[in-house]
């Protein structure tokens, strides 16, 4: 793996304005994602993880700072980045077959036969070579999320972004999907940025865990994970270091942050009242 | 198979009961306005199938219906797409559109006659005008209500405008568009009659109206039966087409097989 930065965020900040009230959600984030690196972003619910990912995906224009991919400013529909949504039930198009869903991002960029070939091979990569002509809603939740992963793969992205991709599948399916994503990264060499609120999942998957906290959210910690490329559900999680890392991340996320909320104090008095 | 028979029974029991009631209640009727159903049925067979009014009167009306409806569908969906994708334009035009929509199709008949004349193109225009509105309004609503996650997918993957339109927005609006198209079809069938109120010398509507004017009451009833049957028939055809287009939709998924491995 090279150390070349693929994604570079500098001074990245975002605020939402609703009904005249402006709330700064993301402070001023600085981070990079190296080529081939697997980065997990963790943080408490509501801290701004989805907001951050939407900025990275080009779905949201950040209020402050910049994001570059391979040195270029981020653009909508940039095929260097692709996205796996949390809600597979809504992100796959029910009127298209599995194959058509996966081939969709290629429409208008490649001839029909090539689109089909690439979609078929992406589906084989996620182990779904035999349900091409089915509709996504005919599949189980885990299989649907595989379709979404295949759709992200088909554009041969430099980075795959995932927002809590396994939050709504059962534990067993979840482990299978985690290993699938690791295998895909090891095989394809793309970077992965995965958001989760599950600390174990983050440590198991990542080369580096970024912990977000506070309002506005800042990078609390940047923790390298020293388990190398080869991971196994039972063995890796049984490493003594795994427990140490878990405790550390736990503490960072759970750390009381009272007295460190300047924006909330001045920005949203109702918020303040609710907490007392 | 048995569920098919069951559904047919469910759909047909009430009409059968009503027809039977009509049949027996009117059996000895001497009223000029409510002749016995038996006579109406005989007359229907005689006039429409033996004398051949099916081809001389139903066919021209049906042609007008199809042209008018096709125009309403094409223009309604195209304009609906445009206005659905441009909410500001729609909001700006809404008062005018609401006004036009409130004008009953019968009321534009005189205007259409003055502007277009008494020919079939006037009748096609009236049918098209009346059935256009539900299609337009439903298309706009359908396009506007696309799931934001689906829109995000289109944006995140940088889909081309044409792909966005024909693979994403249009199919996602299809259930609502088709609901509007179905309402429009019923309206269009009624407008066969309305559009033939003036200047028509043939057609199903003209036949019914002329029969009524000439006190040929049995003929009038037979024409209404044919009109009802025509409406029912086009509705069945519509349902078949709709269930094909929407076979992915939760309401039509029964019978699809699920993949249960993993
Ligand atoms: N479109 C929006 N407008 C206003 N506030 C929003 C919007 N989206 C999210 N927020 C607020 O921003 C904060 C962070 O949301 P989000 O990024 O979804 O957090 P996370 O994914 O970490 O749970 C939340 O307090 C949420 O209420
Ligand atoms: Mg979130």
* Confidence tier at B260 by pLDDT (50, 70, 90): low
Bridge partners of A163, per DSSP, are: A195
Higher pLDDT: B113 or A39? It is A39
pLDDT of residue A34: 94
pLDDT of residue A131: 92
> Phi first, then psi: what are they for B125, rounded to 5°?
-60, -45
pLDDT in tens, A169-183: 888 999 999 999 999
- CATH fold label, A1-80+157-167+179-276: Rossmann fold (3.40.50)
Q: How far is CA A54 from CA A48, B66, B241, in A?
A: 10, 48, 39
CB contact under 8 A, A58 and B159: no
pLDDT of residue A72: 85
Residue A134 C-alpha, separation from nearest chain B C-alpha, in angstroms: 8
Q: How far is CA B154 from CA A188, B24, B75, B164, in A?
A: 24, 62, 26, 6
Structure tokens, B120? 């079939």
Residue B4 C-alpha, separation from nearest chain A C-alpha, in angstroms: 23
Q: Does the pLDDT value for residue A212 go beyond 70?
A: yes
High-pLDDT (> 90) share of chain B, %: 50
Best mutation site among A23, A46, A274 for ligand 1, i.e. most ligand atoms within 8 A of its Cβ? A46
Please say whether the dihedral angle defined by the alpha carbons of residues A114, A117, A119 and A121, taken in this order, is positive or negative.
negative
ipTM of predicted assembly, 2 dp: 0.85
Nearest to A105 by CA among B164, B149, B171, B174: B164
* Ligand number with the minimum distance to the CA of A51: 1
pLDDT of residue B105: 78
pLDDT of residue A137: 94
Ligand 1 neighbour A18 (Cβ under 6 A): yes
Residue pairs between chains A and B whose CB atoms are closer than 8 Å: 85
Ligand 1 neighbour A216 (Cβ under 6 A): no
Q: Hunting for tokens 């940047």 — which residue is that?
A: A222
Structure tokens, B100? 């036009």
CB neighbourhood size of B185 (10 A): 21
pLDDT of residue A270: 37
**Domain layout of chain A by residue ranges:** 1-80+157-167+179-276, 86-152
CATH of B35-260, one of 1.10.3720.10, 1.20.210.10, 1.10.10.10, 3.40.50.720: 1.10.3720.10
Q: How far is CA B88 from CA A18, B37, B94, in A?
A: 20, 56, 10
* Confidence tier at A2 by pLDDT (50, 70, 90): low
- B239 contact A CB<8A: no
A135 CB neighbours in chain B (<8 A) are 248, 256
Q: Closest ligand 1 atom to the C-alpha of A212? A: 22
CA A22 to ligand 2 centroid distance, Å: 20
pLDDT of residue A268: 37
Q: How far is CA A181 from CA A149, A185, B80, B145, in A?
A: 8, 6, 42, 33
CB contact under 8 A, A82 and B159: no
CB A180 within 8 A of CB A126: yes
Q: Does the pLDDT value for residue A251 go beyond 50?
A: yes
Q: Does the pLDDT value for residue B192 go beyond 60?
A: yes
As a whole number, mean pLDDT of residues A238-254 equals 89
pLDDT of residue B52: 85
CB A235 within 8 A of CB A215: no
Altogether, the residues listed in chain A come to a count of 276
User: Which residue has the least CA distance to atom 5 on ligand 1?
Assistant: A16
Alpha-carbon radius of gyration of chain B: 23
Ligand 1 neighbour A41 (Cβ under 6 A): no
CA–CA gap between residue A142 and residue B164 (Å, rounded):
27
* Confidence tier at A273 by pLDDT (50, 70, 90): very low
CA–CA gap between residue A237 and residue A199 (Å, rounded):
12
CB B212 within 8 A of CB B220: yes
pLDDT in tens, B196-228: 888 778 899 889 999 988 988 989 999 999 998
Nearest to A139 among B158, B249, B259 (CB): B259
High-pLDDT (> 70) share of chain B, %: 96
pLDDT in tens, A62-121: 999 999 998 888 876 667 899 999 888 899 999 999 999 999 999 988 999 999 999 999
pLDDT of residue A260: 41
Residue A75 C-alpha, separation from nearest chain B C-alpha, in angstroms: 9
CB contact under 8 A, A138 and B258: yes
Give every strand in the sheet of A208-213, ordered side by side.
A81-84, A159-163, A191-195, A38-42, A208-213, A218-224
Which residues does A195 contact at the CB level (< 8 Å), separation at least 6?
A40, A41, A42, A49, A50, A52, A53, A162, A163, A164
CA–CA gap between residue B144 and residue B151 (Å, rounded):
11
């Amino acid at each position: 793996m090279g150390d070349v930065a693929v994604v570079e965020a500098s001074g990245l900040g975002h605020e939402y304005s609703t009904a005249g009230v402006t709330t700064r959600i993301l402070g001023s984030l600085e981070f990079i994602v190296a080529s081939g690196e697997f980065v997990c972003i963790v943080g408490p619910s509501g801290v701004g993880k989805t907001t951050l990912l939407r900025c990275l995906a080009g779905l949201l224009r950040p209020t402050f700072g910049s994001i570059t991919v391979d040195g270029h400013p981020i653009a909508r529909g940039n095929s260097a980045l692709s996205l796996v949504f949390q809600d597979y039930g809504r992100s796959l198009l029910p009127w298209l077959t599995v194959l058509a869903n996966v081939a969709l991002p290629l429409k208008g960029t490649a001839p029909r036969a090539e689109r089909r070939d690439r979609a078929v091979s992406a589906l084989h990569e996620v182990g779904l070579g035999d349900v091409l002509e089915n509709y996504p809603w005919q599949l189980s939740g885990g299989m649907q999320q595989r379709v979404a992963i295949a759709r992200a793969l088909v554009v041969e992205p430099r980075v795959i972004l995932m927002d809590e991709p396994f939050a709504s599948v059962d534990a067993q399916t979840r482990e299978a999907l985690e290993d699938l994503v690791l295998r895909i990264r090891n095989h394809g060499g793309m970077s992965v940025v995965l958001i989760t609120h599950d600390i174990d999942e983050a440590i198991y998957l990542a080369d580096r865990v970024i912990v977000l906290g506070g309002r506005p959210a800042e990078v609390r910690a940047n923790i390298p994970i020293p388990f190398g490329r080869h991971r196994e559900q039972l063995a890796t999680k049984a490493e003594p270091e795994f427990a140490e890392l878990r405790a550390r991340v736990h503490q960072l996320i759970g750390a009381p942050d009272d007295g460190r909320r300047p924006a909330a104090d001045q920005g949203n008095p109702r918020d303040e009242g609710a907490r007392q | 198979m048995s569920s098919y028979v069951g559904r047919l029974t469910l759909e047909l029991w009430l009409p059968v009961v009503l027809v039977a009631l009509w049949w027996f209640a009117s059996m000895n009727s001497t009223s000029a306005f409510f002749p016995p159903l038996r006579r109406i049925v005989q007359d229907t067979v005689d006039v429409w199938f033996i004398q051949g009014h099916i081809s001389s009167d139903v066919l021209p009306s049906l042609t007008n219906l199809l042209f008018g409806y096709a125009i309403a569908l094409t223009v309604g969906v195209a304009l609906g797409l445009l206005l659905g994708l441009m909410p500001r334009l729609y909001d700006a035009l809404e008062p005018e559109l609401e006004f036009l929509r409130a004008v009953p199709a019968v009321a534009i008949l005189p205007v259409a006659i003055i502007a277009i004349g008494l020919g079939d193109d006037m009748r096609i225009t009236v049918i098209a005008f009346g059935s256009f509105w539900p299609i337009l309004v439903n298309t706009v609503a359908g396009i506007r209500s696309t799931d934001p996650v689906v829109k995000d997918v289109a944006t995140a993957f940088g889909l081309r405008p044409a792909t966005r339109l024909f693979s994403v927005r249009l199919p996602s609006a299809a259930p609502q568009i088709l609901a509007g198209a179905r309402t429009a079809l019923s309206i269009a069938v009624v407008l066969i009659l309305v559009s033939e109120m003036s200047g028509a010398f043939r057609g199903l509507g003209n036949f019914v109206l002329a029969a009524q004017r000439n006190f040929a009451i049995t003929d009038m009833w037979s024409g209404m039966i044919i009109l009802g049957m025509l409406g029912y028939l086009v509705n069945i055809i519509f349902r078949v087409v709709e269930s094909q287009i929407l076979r992915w939709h939760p309401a039509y998924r029964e019978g699809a097989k699920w993949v249960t491995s993993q």
